[in-house]
Structure formats: C-alpha cells, structure tokens
Amino acid sequence: MNLFDPFAQRSLTLPNRLVVSPMCQYSATDGLPDHWHLVHLGSRAVGGAALVITEASAVSAQGRITHGDAGLWNDAQVKAWKPIVQFVRASGAIAGMQLAHAGRKASAQRPWEGGGSLAADQQPWTTVAPSAIPFDAGWHTPQALDEAGIEQVVADFRATAQRALAAGFQLIELHAAHGYLLHQFLSPLSNQRTDRYGGSFENRSRIVREVITAVRDVWPAELPLWLRISATDWAEHGTGWDIDESVQLVKQVKPLGVDLIDVSSGGTLAHPKIPLGPGYQVPFAARIRREAEIATGAVGLITEAQQAQAIIANGEADVVLTARESLRDPYFPRRAAKELGVKLTPPVQYGRAW
C-alpha cells in the first residue's frame, strides 16, 4: 500500500489516504457553521485531502464543549451545513461529520478565553457525565446521567446521524475519545457507576455499543461509519482505560457496523504524562489493526510526507489523519504528493501553477 493509493470502504472510494482530522474551530453561533467553516473545510478539500471531517459537532446543545461549537441538533444547522458539504464534495473530497457529546467537559471557555469552565456571568449550562466527578479542580461538577438520560443521549446521536445524511455528509465518525462523554463511560477514572453502565468492561462499554447500533440503524448500509477512540488514558497501569481494553472494544463494535477505528489517545486526565514524539500514537493503531482485524487511522504528530508514506507502506494503518499540520498547510496533500513523485490533478482554476 502507498499513501496515494485509493482506499475503498463500502460504496465510497477515497482517492488517497490522507484525511483532515476533526479540529474544533470554536467559531459557530448557536451551533450554526458559517463562512469561516466553509473556507476552513473547503480550502482543505481544494488542498487535496481525500476526506475532510468536520470538527466535533454536538448532538445536543448540552453536548457542546463551548458556546462556539458547531452542532447538528436542529434543521437550521442542517441548512447551514449543506453549502459547506456541497463545496467540499465539488472540490473532490468526501465530506465527513464527527458527532460528539462533551459530557463533563462541556460548558467551557474557548481556548483563547482560558479554556476552563464557564464562569457564572458567561452563560454556563448544566453538564452531565457517567458519574458526578468534575474533570479537574475548578470545573463544574456534572450531574450523573440516569438511564432515561442515557437513552436520550443515544437518541440524540441517532437523530443527528439522520440530519447528517440530510445535509449531504457521506461518512460519520462517532467521537468516543479525548475525555468526552462516550470516553467518560469507557474509563473507570470517570465512570464509577454501579448499575449496568458501570463497573465491568461490558457495562462501561454498553453506551458505545448502543450509540453505534442506533446510528447504524439510520445510517445507510452503503456509507461508512468510523469510530474515534483514545487507545489509552495515559494513566497509571491498571487504573484507567488502556490499549488492551481498546482492542477488546474494537472486536465488539466491528460486527455492529464500524468500518474504521480512528486511533488517538488521552483526554480523561487533566494533567497526563504523555511521551510525545513523531507518530507517538501509531503503535496503537498498528496493534488494533493487527489484533482486531479492522481498518485503522493513525493520527498524532504526523508532519512529513515520508513519515505518512511509511505508516501506510508498513501496514500500521490504512489512512493518515493530519490535524495541526493541516492547519499550518491546507495543501499538505499536494506537497506530499510532489515529494513522493505522485501527480495530483489541481483544480482547473489553479492549473497554471502546476
């Protein structure tokens, strides 16, 4: 396999294996994307990425991280997303949406405003979680969801998947990573329930299976469904979610209709010790791909064309997702193609530059 080989999933074929990772822009109003999102996502489609995934888009107003988060919990948001999706697709990329609920990490300030919990004069809202445990000192203490609340979360994911289809998206990624609600249920650090949604691995992973099943019920069989997970909490051994449980989870969700695991890490602990380095999360993607026999995506400090090519050529992952590198260079796929001796057809408007 090579970085610029096509990658087929269900009825879709990605023209190459470079994907723009979901990156929050914190620039929406009442969940509505605007011109910023059109230019941000559209420029990366023009830049040659095979798939452009939206930022974590909330399945409910309560599920937003910040006031500036995009969402898809009403029809006005469907209408706002449509022209963005149309432009991405017209530019040769597949349009994907990441669906998310922030749980106890909701009701937060935008990063450039401090990033902590919203103060009393900043229009905070009630947060929810598996257990009434705040994310960190100074954060809101969330309400522990009862079973009716859990059922509502599952229903919200289902309804949002239907709206994503109506908006024209061709791929959904469910966000069960980075310490947000679904990950909060998975990790014993944030889930201390004693009912059927807590305690054992089977119980802690139940809501993830329920969300996948609910979304797959309304998401067309011919379209892919991806799942982003944190492979590890980077916690002391035996205390948090880890790679062994990640492999176990993936083996369970594959038969439910998940097509690819987007493998990240961290997010449950506010101050983890992470051994950062180029491609530091790639071994997790490689292990899940090998042991669970499912397609994976690698993400995390992947910044060079040869580095991305090696990940694919070595069979460590099936796609490479770039985040910060995509922010620095919307045309990273075109630059990578040139470095690897591959010709990407430019937009006709830019042909004179090639």
66-to-37, 73, 116 alpha-carbon distances in Å: 16, 15, 10
pLDDT tens column, 232-258: 999 988 899 999 999 999 999 999 999
CA triplet 316, 322, 327: central angle to 5 degrees? 165
The pLDDT of residue 346 is above 90? no
Record the tokens describing residue 104, joined without a space: 């106890």
Record the tokens describing residue 196, joined without a space: 């059927």
Predicted pLDDT at 351: 85
Which 3-state string (H, E, C) describes the chain?
Answer: CCCCCCEEECCEEECCCEEECCCCCCCCECCECCHHHHHHHHHHHHCCCCEEEEEEEECCHHHCCECCCCECCCHHHHHHHHHHHHHHHHCCCEEEEEEECCHHHCCECCHHHCCCECCHHHCCCCCEECCCCCCCCCCCCCEECCHHHHHHHHHHHHHHHHHHHHHCCCEEEEEECCCCHHHHHHCCCCCCCCCCCCCCHHHHCHHHHHHHHHHHHHCCCCCCEEEEEECCCCCCCCCCCCHHHHHHHHHHHHHHCCCEEEEECCCCCCCCCCCCCCCCCHHHHHHHHHHHCCEEEEECCCCCHHHHHHHHHCCCCCEEEECHHHHHCCCHHHHHHHHCCCCCCCCHHHHHHC
Task: Round the average pLDDT of the chain to a whole number and report it.
Answer: 97
Q: Give the mean pLDDT of 75-91.
A: 98
CA triplet 346, 350, 352: central angle to 5 degrees? 105
For strands 94-100 and 128-129, give the pairing: unpaired
- Which CATH topology does 7-353 take? TIM Barrel (3.20.20)
What residue ranges do the domains of the chain occupy? 7-353
Catalytic site includes residue 350? no
pLDDT tens column, 29-59: 999 999 999 999 999 999 999 999 999 999 9
Q: Pick the catalytic residue: 180, 197, 331, 350?
A: 180
Top-confidence residue, 348 or 256:
256
Band of pLDDT at residue 339, cut at 50, 70 and 90 = very high
Predicted pLDDT at 237: 83
Query: What's the whole-model pTM score?
Result: 0.96
Predicted pLDDT at 353: 83
> Which amino acid is it at 200?
S
Rounded distance between C-alpha atoms, residue 244 and residue 100, angstroms: 24
Record the tokens describing residue 243, joined without a space: 């790679």
